[in-house]
Amino acid sequence: MPDALLDIWYGLPAIAQDILLLVALLLPVVLIALVVLRGFAPAPLLRALVTRHLGINAVFVALIACAVGVGAALIVQERALRAASADAANPFPLVIGTPGSETTLLFSSVYLQPNDVGLIDGPAFAEISEHPRVAMAAPLAFGDSWQGAPVVGTIAPFIEHLAGASVEGRLFESYSEAVAGADVPLTLGDTFEPAHGIGEEVEHGAHEGVEITVVGRMARTGTPWDRAILVPAEQVWETHGLGNGHAFDQPDALGPPYEPQWFPGTPAALVVPTELYAAYSLREQFTRDDLMAILPAAVLTELHLLMGDIRAAASVMTVASQVLVAVAVLAGLALLTRLFARQLALLRALGAPRRFIAATLWSYAALLIGLGAALGLGLALALTGVLSAIISERTGLAVSGRLGWAEIHLVAAFVSASALAALLPVRAAFSRNAVEALRG
């Protein structure tokens, strides 16, 4: 495309580009219709073809609708999952842990997936928290749960950073208090006993006698932290007999500063830099033999690149399934034209122009394809809501998939290609001799 045309194209609003692309994709259907249907209106015969074999036609339409609907819905969910996972990582500019897998640290600290990771020791955490470019360093202590909800030890400023000022009640002020996520089935004033571990390895009764009272509830964040219960880091440490990170003469101290020699260790630390760009230099500085610093957004980008490859493969599979369905439908239409061979031969013998017969057969095929594609978009719309709800329930992410222009373009391309291929059964209908068809 010449540079001048490219400049014009990129200068158009996005909605205009989408509409023009849709028109271009449907242009083959319009051109075929103009050529085939010019001067003819085979509506009565077309209606007869549809009603005489209504059951078979319904099967063809349903096959097309399923292929289009399922394919479009899966592509929508992949895009929605990427957006939701990126939104969940936004409050985590920099995460520091011990050397190992960056992906494991990402999923443990941001998405609260249980994993075995090492502990940041006291001197290292003190070095992180006292760095002049660190505005906040929050320990994230995992290991306990309640009815499947992870209990995470941290500091009160982390809750304000994660949920803002939208906290019902108040933040915790003692070891025996907690702030629950929006999806945790606990209300203000409820008490609970944490279990050791999470998932299949949970040990109920391991912390018998430990009672924690809910004093606050976070507003919904659309992240897995909506299912978490946040308690002081000191509570998690003391429950496991590890001390509280403070000197013996400060038994009730809460939050930083911690004494390096008494710091029990933490699996991860969320670091909020004083300036956003400082996160990159902090990552370089704290990536060394005893520490590993990651930018969750960067790690997630690498994962999204992999998901992009998966999306491409899924798109190819979607197109392949739609092609197979279209081939099956067109093969069925070819068989139906064989059933109508005598009627078509009779029309030809009575003087019906070949274009009239071709217009009837192509209109019949295009009607089934168009109706199936339209129903497929409706099915995709319904499936999108169901799949989004299922994925949100499984992951804790606020996945909200919506049909977009990409899916509409894909369906339009399918309709055009199928309409073009529908000329093949039409051509085959004229391959038999009319006299032989009448005799048969």
**DSSP per-residue codes, 129-152:** HT-TTEEEEEEEEEEEEETTEEEE
pLDDT for 213 equals: 95
pLDDT for 435 equals: 47
CB 329 within 8 A of CB 63: yes
- Tell me phi and psi for residue 169, to 5 degrees: 90, -125
Q: Which helix (H) or strand (E) holds 294?
A: strand 292-294
Cα angle for residues 301, 149, 194 (degrees, 5° grid): 135
Separation between Cα atoms, residue 64 and residue 100, nearest integer Å: 48
Separation between Cα atoms, residue 218 and residue 125, nearest integer Å: 27
Question: Which residues, listed in sequence order, are joined to residue 18 by a DSSP beta bridge?
Answer: none
pLDDT for 340 equals: 64
Residues, the chain? 440
Q: Which residue ranges in the chain fall short of pLDDT 70?
A: 1-12, 35-42, 307-315, 318-319, 322, 336-353, 428-440
Amino acid (one-letter) located at 291:
L
Token pair for residue 315? Answer: 């798109």
Residues in Cβ contact with 68 at an 8 Å cutoff, skipping those fewer than 6 apart: 322, 372, 373, 375, 376, 377, 379, 380, 411, 414
Amino acid (one-letter) located at 157:
P
pLDDT for 204 equals: 83
pLDDT tens across 247-275, in order? 877 777 888 899 999 999 999 999 999 99
**DSSP per-residue codes, 151-219:** EEEE-HHHHHHHHTT-EEE----STTEEEE-TTSS--TT-EE-PEES-GGG-BTTTTTT--EEEEEEEP
E strands of 3-133, at which residues? 94-97
pLDDT for 15 equals: 79
